[in-house]
Copies of this chain bind each other. A is one copy, B any other.
């Protein structure tokens, strides 16, 4: 039986959507318990009673606008702080939050703690691809660490490959380095150095540079990059896809009867496409390299996204992913210090 701590607060639809996600997860998986943190009355209103769910009432919330580390220090009764403390003490085994990404990241690092020899735990992002034989690509770092060294990118490759194997069932995950050109020698000072490290490491199935125009083509299983670039990629993708869909929509609306009819006929197709590009199915970003599985989902997460995140935390616990990562890096003192 695995116990997963779920922060019910700080999201766009807190606590309703989070509680409903918990209800779905409890119904689907009979080998999990959930501890859910936040406003007691609000949680109880939507919670399906279950012997496997414990509500932990908390009175404070760290918002997106707050500086995360300061929030952590000041708000001892914030839902994410209490949840992280429960993971640290062993009351819970993993954590999910749709609240402030910064606060979840800070709680993971400062309360749950980093694995030995991982300097900068990355946050992952999972994208759909247009390649049916490789329908998802995992990227790290999606934004946790704007400034870093090449050795951190090498660590991301190792840590993300564990995720790809353990949670996404990819046998021997291929790794690509996001870069502004495919040839060896392309890039800035950081990516050129990272290329050399990735190429030299026998534990990484490295396939070379990948240009961002191939991100959704499904050419590798794992993409690594520094957190600044990763965040730029994620936000550019978000901006372009939203702008394109909005342009298509206004073409249809401003068009004649032909366009409107066409739009009506394609409505289901567009909706299923939008769903594929939605975070809901992807389950959020995992913080890899801390002493427990932690997942951050989008602030707008609905019940399905929360359930998916809980499911991935369960898979991660069952497969002992954190222990594997921790063992790997503990043994590699000489490489990483």
Chain A residues within CB distance 8 Å of chain B = 129-130, 143, 146-147, 178, 180, 187-189, 191, 211-217, 228-229, 231-233, 235-244, 246-248, 250-252, 255, 258-259, 261-266, 268-270, 272-273, 276-277
> Could you tell me the distance between the alpha carbons of A188 and B149 in the complex, rounded to whole angstroms?
12
Q: How far is the CB of A123 from chain B (nearest CB, A)?
A: 12
> Could you tell me the distance between the alpha carbons of A244 and B237 in the complex, rounded to whole angstroms?
10
Partner of A236, one of B228, B233, B268, B273: B233
Do A213 and B239 touch across chains, with their CB atoms under 8 A apart?
yes
Do A130 and B247 touch across chains, with their CB atoms under 8 A apart?
yes
Which chain B residue shows the least CB distance to A67?
B185
Do A189 and B147 touch across chains, with their CB atoms under 8 A apart?
yes
Which chain B residues border A246 with CB–CB below 8 Å? 130
> Could you tell me the distance between the alpha carbons of A221 and B260 in the complex, rounded to whole angstroms?
32
Partner of A232, one of B143, B180, B262: B180
Partner of A213, one of B146, B147, B215, B238: B238
Which chain B residues border A259 with CB–CB below 8 Å? 265-266, 268-269
Do A244 and B243 touch across chains, with their CB atoms under 8 A apart?
no
- Given A130-B250, A213-B242, A248-B270, 13 more contacts at CB 8 Å? A146-B187, A147-B189, A213-B238, A215-B236, A216-B239, A216-B240, A232-B236, A241-B244, A258-B265, A259-B266, A259-B268, A265-B265, A266-B266
Q: How far is the CB of A215 from chain B (nearest CB, A)?
A: 5
Which chain B residues border A243 with CB–CB below 8 Å? 129-130, 216-217
Assuming A242-B213, A262-B265, is B235 touching A232 (CB within 8 A)? no
Do A252 and B266 touch across chains, with their CB atoms under 8 A apart?
yes
Which chain B residues border A251 with CB–CB below 8 Å? 266, 269, 272-273
Q: Mind listing 8 A-B residue pairs with CB under 8 Å?
A: A130-B250, A213-B235, A216-B239, A216-B243, A217-B239, A237-B240, A255-B269, A265-B265
Assuming A232-B229, A265-B262, A266-B262, is B273 touching A180 (CB within 8 A)? no
Do A240 and B236 touch across chains, with their CB atoms under 8 A apart?
yes
> Could you tell me the distance between the alpha carbons of A147 and B214 in the complex, rounded to whole angstroms?
23
Do B188 and A228 touch across chains, with their CB atoms under 8 A apart?
yes
Do A212 and B241 touch across chains, with their CB atoms under 8 A apart?
no
